[in-house]
A and B are shown apart, each in its own frame.
Chain A
């Protein structure tokens, strides 16, 4: 009952004219960045951070969250109409979505994608509403040992969720953790690896690294090859699915909601992973799995629902524990910190008007998105007709201004450039970037909690097994490590056997 009371007060906050307006801007901007390949929610959120300086913090987070889940709605448009994923989470939608377009069923695919996104997004907000406060209450009992052990699980989960080999993913994670040690040590004030550069005293900024690696790096990769696109533009009256398609969609949508929400709780590439898992699940459950890839509506309904449900799941560790589970959420965290608000166990109890205002706005935002995305498909298609050769310089300029606007620092532009070069090279060498970025974020907290734990225990490691929650988490993390090593070795043997035969 308390939850519903809080939700009602959240709606009172979210239904102010200004907050509805900010939610609308966030959702529209998010849909646009979702539609445009090459610019993702990370850049979309970072670019609007300066706009939030003059806003009240509730309005700021409502707008930024709108961009985040708006991008998941928009990403399916290019996947379905052009066979190019607007977002990494919409890769799987290309498989059946584009085939539906070729069969003249683009409108039905777009409709089901939007509908499934609404269901997944809304159900995941219900999940946040009930789970986040419970998790926050539990987390208030955490000391540094428990936080360290929890982050250790995240550390090994990053290793298992990377798309490359485990050892290569771990190399990226360790590299990210190492980069996080640059700057002034928070416990002793010692400068590490700053080489006398004053801009490095506060460490390497996360936003320029992320924008460089994901934004500039992706553009550098894309300019190696020329891209020619065909864009299909559906008419509004073609936008409705038939009865058979509706009947075939509801079960994948429900399953996708559950899959996406649960996977969203895990750090890593939750949106990508949830959409893949949903697709594989639907294929396994289908009576004729061989038809997947030829234009099955289930291949669109499940993954698109899952990637939107994952946004809600991903918000729970962020809001309740202060652990960002993805790069875009980490940028949101930076925006909140700029406003003096720290997500974590105390956030919900100390700032309930912000938390419940955000929850209520997510309900509103999902309605705005499903109402706007279909009628605005024509507009989005017009955006897609802009050639990539015109688009990428604009995207580059936006990334540069977005980074510059945060601290007005030219040094951070150099960090962006350096990260872009690294991101490009890592792509060429087939390394996954997401674990690197997430490790950069959680690294400083991992180190701080480890050292604080040892200080509390007088140098004894027994603190990690004498405290039951910490011991449990460490046990889970080592099981994860063993599982990852086993999978890596087993996959290697399988490849060797295949090569041999």
Chain B
């Protein structure tokens, strides 16, 4: 299947192998950029910490003899904000990342995210069988760039097979669509 008779567009080129969990990202750098990845991470944790703090102060803190539900999240939000600041500050002097290059890599992951969201939304309305077929077909045709007939055939087989395996053999009550499928 890898010799691309069913593959549209340019054949895949040998690239980096990802190794879970130490995924080796080929970081690219750009000195004109403002931030590096640690800046972004630090800022993320700081914002989350501040937000959770603002929510937690509305909860009852209680007394030491009867600690309330606010105590733990308040303490953690403060700690998270501090670690966020430390990460942000410690990234000073490190190389700045090339964010344009990073954004270019987002196309396929973004497509997968949107298709998965559509699957979740429509599964209850159209039923598992139809939704899984459309989901797989979209992934094979749009993301993996297989030819139409191949993508449709493979999606049909896998959707029907998974419906039979999980719905009938494993007994998972999968959602039914308007045609009881």
Q: How far is the CB of A451 from chain B (nearest CB, A)?
A: 4
Q: How far is the CB of A92 from chain B (nearest CB, A)?
A: 11
Q: Indicate if A197 sits at the interface (CB-CB under 8 A).
A: no
Chain A, range 424-465, C-beta contacts under 8 Å to B: 424, 427-434, 447, 450-451, 454-455, 458-460
User: CA of A51 to CA of B144 in the docked complex: distance in angstroms?
Assistant: 31
With both beta carbons as reference points, the residue of chain B lying nearest to A54 in the complex is identified as: B171
A394 to B23, Cβ gap below 8 A?
no
A429 to B18, Cβ gap below 8 A?
no
- Tell me which residues across on chain B come within 8 A of A100, comparing CB atoms: none
- Tell me which residues across on chain B come within 8 A of A397, comparing CB atoms: 132, 135-136, 158, 162
Q: How far is the CB of A39 from chain B (nearest CB, A)?
A: 10
B80 to A192, Cβ gap below 8 A?
no
- Tell me which residues across on chain B come within 8 A of A113, comparing CB atoms: none
With both beta carbons as reference points, the residue of chain B lying nearest to A401 in the complex is identified as: B166
Q: How far is the CB of A108 from chain B (nearest CB, A)?
A: 24
A393 to B41, Cβ gap below 8 A?
no
A431 to B41, Cβ gap below 8 A?
yes
B37 to A430, Cβ gap below 8 A?
yes
Q: How far is the CB of A209 from chain B (nearest CB, A)?
A: 15
With both beta carbons as reference points, the residue of chain B lying nearest to A219 in the complex is identified as: B112
Selected interface stretch from A24-32, A238-246, A404-412, A475-483: A404-412
Q: How far is the CB of B44 from chain A (nearest CB, A)?
A: 8
Q: Which of B12, B64, B143 contacts A228 (CB 8 A)?
A: B12
Q: Indicate if A294 sits at the interface (CB-CB under 8 A).
A: no
Q: Indicate if A83 sits at the interface (CB-CB under 8 A).
A: yes
Number of A-B contacts (CB under 8 A): 203
- Tell me which residues across on chain B come within 8 A of A84, comparing CB atoms: 17, 19
User: CA of A170 to CA of B49 in the docked complex: distance in angstroms?
Assistant: 14
- Tell me which residues across on chain B come within 8 A of A170, comparing CB atoms: 83
Q: Indicate if A281 sits at the interface (CB-CB under 8 A).
A: no
- Tell me which residues across on chain B come within 8 A of A167, comparing CB atoms: 83, 86-87, 90
With both beta carbons as reference points, the residue of chain A lying nearest to B132 in the complex is identified as: A397
Q: Indicate if B21 sits at the interface (CB-CB under 8 A).
A: yes
Q: How far is the CB of B87 from chain A (nearest CB, A)?
A: 6
Beyond A190-B59, A220-B113, whether A83 also contacts B17 by CB under 8 A is yes
Q: How far is the CB of B114 from chain A (nearest CB, A)?
A: 10
B15 to A228, Cβ gap below 8 A?
yes
Q: Indicate if B123 sits at the interface (CB-CB under 8 A).
A: yes
Q: Indicate if A421 sits at the interface (CB-CB under 8 A).
A: yes
- Tell me which residues across on chain A come within 8 A of B130, comparing CB atoms: none
Q: Indicate if A414 sits at the interface (CB-CB under 8 A).
A: yes
A168 to B76, Cβ gap below 8 A?
no
Q: Indicate if A61 sits at the interface (CB-CB under 8 A).
A: no
- Tell me which residues across on chain B come within 8 A of A386, comparing CB atoms: 1
- Tell me which residues across on chain B come within 8 A of A178, comparing CB atoms: 48, 52, 73, 76-77, 80
With both beta carbons as reference points, the residue of chain B lying nearest to A94 in the complex is identified as: B19
What are the interface flags for A9-53 relative to B under an 8 Å C-beta threshold, 1 for contact and 0 otherwise?
A: 000000000000000000000000000011010000000001101
B65 to A394, Cβ gap below 8 A?
no
Q: Which of B60, B109, B172 contacts A224 (CB 8 A)?
A: B109
User: CA of A54 to CA of B80 in the docked complex: distance in angstroms?
Assistant: 43
Beyond A167-B83, A393-B140, whether A227 also contacts B18 by CB under 8 A is yes
- Tell me which residues across on chain B come within 8 A of A451, comparing CB atoms: 67, 71-72
With both beta carbons as reference points, the residue of chain A lying nearest to B104 in the complex is identified as: A224
User: CA of A209 to CA of B139 in the docked complex: distance in angstroms?
Assistant: 22
Beyond A37-B20, A228-B12, A404-B172, whether A168 also contacts B80 by CB under 8 A is no
Q: Which of A53, A398, A424 contacts B109 (CB 8 A)?
A: A424
With both beta carbons as reference points, the residue of chain B lying nearest to A87 in the complex is identified as: B20
With both beta carbons as reference points, the residue of chain B lying nearest to A452 in the complex is identified as: B67
B73 to A192, Cβ gap below 8 A?
yes
A408 to B108, Cβ gap below 8 A?
no
With both beta carbons as reference points, the residue of chain A lying nearest to B16 in the complex is identified as: A225
Of B20, B59, B64, B80, which is in contact with the most chain A CB atoms at under 10 Å from its CB? B20
- Tell me which residues across on chain B come within 8 A of A414, comparing CB atoms: 120
Q: Indicate if B63 sits at the interface (CB-CB under 8 A).
A: yes
Top 9 closest pairs, chain A to chain B, by CB: A459-B64, A459-B65, A226-B12, A185-B69, A389-B144, A393-B139, A220-B109, A190-B69, A171-B83
A223-B112, A389-B140, A459-B63 are known contacts; what are 12 more A-B pairs with Cβ within 8 Å? A174-B79, A188-B69, A190-B59, A214-B20, A218-B18, A227-B12, A269-B21, A386-B1, A392-B139, A394-B136, A396-B116, A401-B162
* 24 A-B interface contacts by CB (under 8 A): A167-B83, A174-B83, A175-B48, A177-B76, A178-B80, A181-B76, A188-B69, A193-B52, A218-B18, A219-B112, A225-B18, A228-B14, A387-B2, A393-B135, A397-B132, A404-B174, A405-B166, A408-B173, A414-B120, A420-B113, A427-B23, A429-B40, A429-B41, A430-B37
Q: Which residues of B are interface residues toward A (Cβ below 8 A)?
A: 1-2, 12-23, 25, 37-38, 40-41, 44-45, 48, 52, 55-56, 59-60, 63-69, 71-73, 76-77, 79-80, 83-84, 86-87, 90, 102, 105, 108-109, 112-113, 116-117, 119-120, 123-124, 132, 135-136, 139-140, 143-144, 146, 154, 158, 162, 166, 170-174
